[in-house]
Amino acid sequence: MPATTAKVIAIASQKGGSGKTTLAVHIATKAAQAGFESCVVDTDPQATAASWSDWRGDFLPVVVTSPPARLARTITSAQKNGVDFVVIDTPPHADAAAREAIKAADLVLIPTKPRAFDLAALEPVADLVTYANTPAFVVLNSVPAGATVLAGEAQEAAKDIGLKICPVQLGDRAAFHRSSAKGETASESEPDGKAAKEIDKLWKWLSKELKKIG
Ligand SMILES: Nc1ncnc2c1ncn2[C@@H]1O[C@H](COP(=O)(O)OP(=O)(O)OP(=O)(O)O)[C@@H](O)[C@H]1O
Ligand SMILES: [Mg+2]
């Protein structure tokens, strides 16, 4: 268990473009709307979450960048400034960064597209969460409309390597990339849309899981 009082969620997956940053900014924004002092710690040298924050301007959540090696210190210092909910965004293809994030986290979310090559890339992150003994859930992302068989197969594949599955999936929805490009979230730009509803459900589920952890 990390030595922090803030809730810390790590978003990790070695596969590029699986939805890490999208998930990170949506969850951190939901947390802010729920009354948390929430913060995204962007450990990706691409700094995509930080760019999103630049486009967003002066609205919550705060996004700070941190090299993975300084992650623990960055979280401690955020906490000293009143942050009580941290979402760590991680780079693709970077075991060390993912390891540091998983070590600092209370819970790990692993977004993946439900495609064979993407699922094959879950193994390294599965090993990391098993080693760290941190609760972790695969979040199926960009699931095409009506792809129940594909989603079912993806769930089986994740289970086979010992990963738990988040019961809420995110569909392949333009609202996710349209909103991100404006420094917003889907819930803000299209509040009545399906993407917003999925994020609502995801947040409710996540809140319950965090309560279980205590
Ligand atoms: N559910 C979704 N529906 C439609 N588009 C999505 C969805 N999730 C993510 N995207 C889009 O897919 C692209 C990649 O998403 P994102 O940047 O969140 O992935 P990432 O895992 O952070 O990538 P990287 O590994 O490069 O950091 C972005 O253009 C994003 O807007
Ligand atoms: Mg990213």
pLDDT for 47-102, tens place per residue?
Answer: 999 999 999 998 999 999 999 999 999 999 999 999 999 999 999 998 899 999 99
Cα 177 to its chain centre, rounded Å, is 15
Q: How far apart are the first and last CA of the chain?
A: 11
Please report which ligand is nearest the Cα atom of 199.
Answer: 1
Tell the residue nearest (CA) to atom 30 of ligand 1.
Answer: 177
156-167: buried (b, 16+ CB within 10 Å) or exposed (e) per residue? ebbeeeebebbe
Q: Is the CB of 173 under 6 A from ligand 1?
A: yes
pLDDT tens readout for residues 163-190: 999 999 999 999 999 999 999 999 999 9
What is the length of the chain? 214
In words, the CATH class of domain 7-208 is: alpha beta
Q: Is the CB of 176 under 6 A from ligand 1?
A: yes
From the number of C-beta atoms within 10 Å of its C-beta (0-12, 13-18, 19+), residue 3 rates as exposed
Q: Is the CB of 14 under 6 A from ligand 1?
A: no
Tell the residue nearest (CA) to atom 27 of ligand 1.
Answer: 91
Tell the residue nearest (CA) to atom 31 of ligand 1.
Answer: 177
Tell the residue nearest (CA) to atom 9 of ligand 1.
Answer: 19
Per DSSP, the three-state class of 182 is coil
Pocket test residue of 13, 22, 138 for ligand 1, highest count of atoms within 8 A of CB: 22
pLDDT tens readout for residues 6-34: 999 999 999 999 999 999 999 999 999 99
Measure Cα distances from 62 to 18, 109, 181 in Å.
23, 20, 17
